[in-house]
Amino acid sequence: MKEYLQRLANRESFSEEEMQEAVGIMLNDEQISDSEIAAFLVALKTKGETVDEISGLVKAIRLNTIGFRRSYSNVMDNCGTGGDGSSSFNVSTTSAFVIAGCGITVAKHGNRSISSKTGSADVLEQLGVELSMPTQLAEELLEEIGIAFLFAPHVHPRLKKVMKVRRELQIPTIFNFIGPLTNPVDLDSQLLGINRRDYLEVFAEVLNKLGRKRALVLNGAGKLDEASLEGENHLIFLQDGVMNKMTLHPEEVGLPSFPNSAIKGGDSKRNAEILLQVLKGEEGAYRDTVLLNAGLAIFTSGIASTIPSGINIAKESIDSGAAYEKLVKLVEKSRVTKQEVI
């Protein structure tokens, strides 16, 4: 590790393979100190992370995770990096059930709140979903009902020490952005929201290196890490190694405009209420935001040939009750006692 720290101090960049080796040491060498981990993260941030370094970091984490042995047809994840400061409700978590409701397998990877009031794990736990389910059960859920929640601390136990350092640093590092990339399931497609517009191309290139067949990286109006109804959204669509930049205003796809303040959330109880309202068909800014994000994900998966058709499929998933049924089944199958919430 000393050699890698010295190279970072000299502002040298690593190859993907070198980064994999450095992170492998960090995760597996019990002699590595908190101060060495902190020095590595801060030096990497100061130098600026390259595409090869990010992809090497992600691959090292995935090599050290709890493995998922089965393969699935058309499996995807939809997740944002967080950190946009908007205090919005759990858009991607709500959207995940809508996506699953139209027949796409969703391996929803997430964590408790770090930079916001309520993370995906917090709201799902409030609804009664068991977070620390065995890998075998998660695999069965993906096969049987088409959606499972993969709780990051449970599937990445070797990251515990790094996460402790990250919280103590109290400054953003690369670990604030790579969470959605470390899904232990081999994904076919991915919708990734980020709060940094200048990182769009970088993360599209990383997703390509990680083998995504189709992916959409977006930064919403107001710099949200979700697609926003407030105005122009910036996107990069990746398909078979080819990247296309685009912008999207909600009115271009038949949705109304709302300010970002209209999708404010609250604590886990409040955000669970909003999620249920959307899945049960209540109209308004929350629903339309989910329709936009779920529609983009459905398009990204390849089920829909256009974004407007993806939004229409999302509407049907909600209005038919299919999205809500996915939530009910996930609660039941994950062996939870809080079913009274629903």
Residues annotated within a binding site: 80, 83-84, 88, 90-93, 108-116, 120, 166, 225-226
- From first CA to last CA, the distance across the chain in angstroms is 50
Q: Cβ–Cβ contacts within 10 Å for residue 211, how many?
A: 9
- Output b/e per residue, 240-262; b: 16+ Cβ within 10 A: eeebeeeebebeebebeebebee
- The Cα–Cα gap between 212 and 241 comes to 9
Q: Which residues are annotated as a binding site for 5-phospho-alpha-D-ribose 1-diphosphate?
A: 80, 83-84, 88, 90-93, 108-116, 120
* Half-sphere exposure (Cβ direction) of 182: Cα atoms closer than 13 Å: 30
Q: Which residues are annotated as a binding site for Mg(2+)?
A: 92, 225-226
Q: Which residues are annotated as a binding site for anthranilate?
A: 80, 111, 166
